Amino acid sequence: MPNTIPSTSALSATSPLNQFVFRQLNNWLDQPLNLIAAPADLNWQELAITFANAKQPLQVWTNDWRSFNAAQTAGISSFFTAGQAPTNLAGRSLMFWPKAKEEGYWWLQQLATLPHQDVLLAGESNGGINALAKQLKNTGVAVGKLDTARRCALYALDSLAPASQLITDNAPQQTQVPQQTQTGQGVQTQWSGPEDLTLISQPGVFSHGRVDEGSAFFIKTLTQQPHIKTGQLLDIGCGCGLLGAWLIKKYPSLQLTAADVSGFALNATRATLGINQLNGKAVAADIFTGLAEHAPAQGFDLIISNPPFHTGKATDYELASRLISQAPQFLRKGGEIWIVANRFLPYADFLQQAFHNVTLVAETGKFRVYKAIRG
């Protein structure tokens, strides 16, 4: 049967990097392919069909639950973090160089420890792919440029071994996390907050090694203002677990579900809960997608979030907008959602559209904390 190669039109909606990578696909159908740090918006159905036709296994390693979910939905075997990844890699590995460099080095470190034949590296020029290739070359790795277009480049490496020092120097430092957390590793960060909470995370997790100013203001506000203190708590975009862990430590009759799209963040949250001897679930979700099975039947009593956003583009409000518009479905009647945000973000409008009862609880020159109650 002829192999089905995705047409360019079928890929027009995906990123320049994905289109760039797909045009090479024909060359990679002779053996199993491992996709490392694959973006969520790959054309997964096409990939699954193509590799099934070529009778080659395709597997995906990712730290991003969206890619994991998309790959699994398409029937591709996938691993959410390296902790769950195969210990022996057959075939070829294609790594997408991520925007967060520490994360990229972390994946390279995982790859370097596994037996594999060859490694392909794809990335965008403004994401540092060419600089990385140069660095690898300087360490003695044989690096060959295979293709370049759409401000993207593809390199083939013969082996990562000569670059092991470079990779180790740049990869996140790792320390052992207490046994009971059953997580990966993280750099331990001590923060003496009101409850003397210990935080654990690794580079690549939001506000690693510090406490975000907005989150600190949120905590201060929650200390001073009346809010629900018992029942089911949901922390969306939990990062290292700071907000949820702090709340359940202060109000032990709250039961925590902490959610994040990042596997590194979930590992960090589990570690933070473990080291503080707190109970709670850390679950993978894309805002509310994936949370239904973890939600209490009557809905959560309290939802808290320092929502993810990126400056620059209007579409960057999509996550917060989705969070706020879907929150009423996940809250019990009378349940509350509390959100902290930079004051320039249009979250008050989103909240007014989804809830009748919205209060601006506290503000500084930079941040606002809002509360909305489900009627």
Ligand X SMILES: C[S@@+](CC[C@H](N)C(=O)[O-])C[C@H]1O[C@@H](n2cnc3c(N)ncnc32)[C@H](O)[C@@H]1O
Residues near ligand X, by CB under 6 A: 206-207, 212, 215, 237-239, 242-243, 259-262, 265, 285-287, 306, 308, 319
Q: How far is the CB of 161 from ligand X (least distance, A)?
A: 32
Rounded CA-CA distance 128/108 in Å is: 15
Q: How far is the CB of 324 from ligand X (least distance, A)?
A: 13
Angle made by CA atoms 211, 212, 218, in degrees to the nearest 5: 100
Cα 149 to the center of its chain, rounded Å = 27
Token pair, residue 94, equals 């294609």
Reported in sequence order, the residue ranges of the chain that DSSP labels E, i.e. its strands, are 33-36, 58-61, 77-79, 92-96, 118-124, 143-149, 152-157, 175-176, 185-190, 198-201, 231-236, 254-260, 281-284, 300-305, 331-342, 357-363, 367-373
Do the Cβ atoms of 306 and 367 come closer than 8 Å?
Answer: no
Q: Which is nearer to ligand X, 58 or 236 (CB)?
A: 236
Q: How far is the CB of 358 from ligand X (least distance, A)?
A: 21
Residue 149 CA neighbour count, 13 Å, CB half: 11
C-alpha closest to that of 193 among 166, 222, 164, 170:
222
Q: How far is the CB of 269 from ligand X (least distance, A)?
A: 9
Q: Which is nearer to ligand X, 232 or 272 (CB)?
A: 272
Q: Which is nearer to ligand X, 262 or 267 (CB)?
A: 262
Q: How far is the CB of 325 from ligand X (least distance, A)?
A: 14
Q: How far is the CB of 285 from ligand X (least distance, A)?
A: 6
Rounded CA-CA distance 180/255 in Å is: 19
φ/ψ region of 108 (left if φ > 0, alpha if ψ in -120 to 50, else beta) reads alpha
Q: Alpha helix (H) ranges present in 26-141?
A: 44-53, 65-73, 101-112, 129-138
Q: Which is nearer to ligand X, 65 or 355 (CB)?
A: 65
Q: How far is the CB of 235 from ligand X (least distance, A)?
A: 6
Q: How far is the CB of 371 from ligand X (least distance, A)?
A: 17
Q: Which is nearer to ligand X, 104 or 237 (CB)?
A: 237
Q: Which is nearer to ligand X, 228 or 243 (CB)?
A: 243
Decide: residue 236, CB within 10 A, 0-12 exposed, 13-18 middle, 19+ buried. Answer: buried
- Looking at residue 342, its amino acid is N
Residue 267 makes CB contacts below 8 A (sequence gap 6+) with 81, 83, 183, 184, 185, 186, 202
Q: Which is nearer to ligand X, 163 or 278 (CB)?
A: 278
Q: Which is nearer to ligand X, 143 or 243 (CB)?
A: 243
Q: Which is nearer to ligand X, 150 or 294 (CB)?
A: 294
Instruction: Provide the 10 A C-beta neighbour count for residue 64.
Output: 22
Do the Cβ atoms of 184 and 82 come closer than 8 Å?
Answer: yes
Rounded CA-CA distance 77/34 in Å is: 10
Q: How far is the CB of 288 from ligand X (least distance, A)?
A: 9
